[in-house]
Amino acid sequence: MFPQLLSLFSLSPDLRPVDLLSRVLPHNGEALSGVRMVQEGGARGVQFFSPTQALTFPSSQLFINCPLFPAEFSIVATVKVSHTRMKKNEYLFAVVKEDVDQLLLGMRFSKEKVHLIYQGSMGRERLTLFNAIQSTEKDRLDYVDDYQDLYTTSETLDIELFQIPSVGLFAAMAHRANKPGSAIYRWNHGQFQLYQNISTFKAQAWKQFTIGRKMFLAVSNSVGPADGERELSVIYRWSNKRLKFVRYQTLETHSARDWEAFHINNENGNHNIDSVVYKWNPGTKTFEVNQTISTSGAYDWEFFTVGPYHFLAVANAFDGTSTQTDSSIYIWLGGAFQLYQTIRTFGATDWEMFQIGNRVFLALANGHMLCERGPSLYTINSTIYELDMTTKMFLKFQDIVTYSAVDWEFFSVGDEHFLVVANSYDGSSYSLNSVIYRCSWYCLINNNFLIYNN
């Protein structure tokens, strides 16, 4: 059995997503009898050989402010079961009343089914969660799982994924630390490996774009090389001869947060924190100011196209008093960007548009929730929205817990689809993993994890 994730959460205000396995597994690397870490097919998990009392903990650790079990909750688990060694009554987890050893809630699996068993008013009751542990259907999307952890030299504030023809898939990481700067990774043998380091100064974002046959990569530097020196953001060009990015042009910026490059009717442009749209002048071969858009602490821009329509989404992070602001999606009409839809966000830092089949998604990275009383919240939901073709609006598809997320990126390798998030801060540490999720396909119910009422 290989549980990859086991979470429990509810609508109760004092309960947040909990990794149950982390509550019982040793944190200091010590061995635990009957338990070992394994890896298979790029996925890591925990293998159990026999039940052990060490894999228990009191429920009071979860229910601090309220002793009652939540009426509405979700349980998420990824398991691999060996059918040849299947036992009749094996539980993935159980909640037991200690004094009488009575089962209150449990998840049990058999050869073809997973059952949720709970103590109801009429005694023990059972719900079948799903009929097939594994499905080959690929027409419906439900969730993503952990695929690879990238250990970087500094806090990662942005990830930009792009393809270089005949060379491969790349990921540019924007790192806060000036030394050794930011890193560019290349996809090799099923994982990202370090390819090139570039000197940056508290880099905030990368943006890749092409003009004709030339490929460029722009970085937003938020400070100068030294105190008192000018802040310069840099555009790099890919050298086919040297097989690396070389400096092409510098632009003076002020606490730059983001670039966005896009193409409309043979016009090229990019967008920075001042909410200025620049247009490429082929005569002077430089960028010139074209249009401005009013924003509130804009942190990121995302340009994308759906059919014949062009969109530009802005992530507004702060309005001067609160991180709870409206981020906006604009549509290109009549030669200018017009407001299309607003979405309430919490310190929004990034939009990422992606398509799977004919379905269009927008992944939003929420940075943190600034509270008037008490500490700010950095462990909050980032949200994936899907374009509903009936209402012509982006509607919530799924929430994923992140830690002051600063960037989402989507990419595909063959028939598999991936999302990668850059987590930057959990309220106590900046040393966090950047996580790659893999899209999994099987029965899709309510566009989210299954929720059951007890």
Question: Which domains are assigned to the chain?
Answer: 6-130 (no CATH), 141-453 (2.120.10.80)
The b/e string for 278-311 (b: 16+ C-beta within 10 A; e otherwise) is bebeeeeeebeeeeebebbbbbbbbbbeeeeebb
- How confident is the prediction along the chain (454 residues), in pLDDT tens digits per residue? 333 333 333 344 455 677 777 777 776 656 677 777 776 665 677 777 766 666 787 777 776 666 666 666 777 777 776 655 566 567 777 888 777 777 778 887 766 667 777 776 555 555 554 443 344 444 445 555 567 777 777 788 888 989 998 899 999 999 888 888 899 999 998 888 999 999 999 999 899 998 888 899 999 998 888 887 888 899 999 999 899 999 998 888 888 888 877 777 655 443 334 577 777 888 888 877 777 888 888 888 899 999 999 999 999 988 777 788 899 999 988 878 889 999 999 999 999 999 988 889 999 999 988 766 667 888 999 999 999 989 999 999 888 889 999 889 898 888 778 888 888 888 888 877 777 877 754 333 334 322 222 1
- In terms of residues, how long is the chain? 454
The tokens of 352 are what?
């990422």
**Which of 55, 34, 41, 47 lies closest to 3 in space, CA to CA?**
47
- CB under 8 Å to 397, separation ≥6 — which residues? 361, 383, 384, 385, 386, 447, 448
Q: Give the integer Cα–Cα distance in Å for 273 and 283.
A: 26
Backbone torsion region of residue 334, taken as left when φ is above 0, otherwise alpha when ψ lies between -120 and 50, otherwise beta: left
Q: Is the dihedral of CA 195, 198, 203, 206 positive or negative?
A: negative
Return d(Cα 183, Cα 20) in angstroms, integer: 34
- DSSP of 105-147: EEEEE-SS-EEEEEEETTEEEEEEEES-SS----S-EEEEEEE
C-beta atoms surrounding 417 within 10 Å: 20
In this structure, what token pair is assigned to residue 29?
Answer: 């690397």
Check: CB of residue 292 under 8 Å from CB of residue 277.
yes
Cα maximum dimension of the chain: 83
Q: How far apart are CA 96 and CA 332, in angstroms?
A: 58
pTM exceeds 0.75: no
